[in-house]
Structure 1
């Protein structure tokens, strides 16, 4: 979810449903795109975040091959682009994660990992946790 540049709409990038907006002042929904933006697999991840100043949204998705990809979607031009990912995020599992846009830092903050749940009653907690910051201006990830 992201907030529109004019601060009047919430923008939702659905898993299989495309992109929709909710108008806060008009209390109604509209569809920006009824299909996934180009380049995003239908089985993509659930979480997105965005920069309310530019209308750019960011999504970490997992391709059908199991390979994670990081994609931006410009809500104004309706275009997507594949962005870089830290090498360790492309080679290890990241099942549970959360992303948020930091207005103060002008960046995406990503936290996640996976749970060792071979025995649900004896889960050992988050395995290989990751905490990263993505700077869209430089296309650089920093391990926090």
Structure 2
């Protein structure tokens, strides 16, 4: 897996959602169009595992969270950025999503859930704030951020 091949996989998803509001309807669309047991979701999950093993994804670590921005916002993926984190049974730093956040939840061990949601897609709307939490196991969470916007806040 190369960064270029990974970007091509992500472009398929961002092409399907470009211009849509970030809301519960988008989460439903993503879960129907790219279900967790479907080929596109599984290809992205495998690409994440391969990229982490190759050392270019989740190449930083702080507080038990492995993370990294994989793709900066660009036209090829409709001005989304892509970040991937690996978390196991912990709560991450509080942050806000000025333009919203789309989460792809990829359980790796146990019955991992991200903010209470299992394998699949979850969407936070513009202006939302949370402390990302993985419970009941270990997971990758891939974040699509419109224009790469994220603001870490004081807790």
TM bracket (short chain): under 0.3
Structure number with bigger Rg: 1
TM-score by length of 2: 0.26
- Larger RCO (CA within 8 A; separation ≥ 6): 2
User: Could you say which structure has the higher helix fraction?
Assistant: 2
Higher normalized strand content (fraction of residues) = 1
Provide TM-score, normalisation by structure 1: 0.28
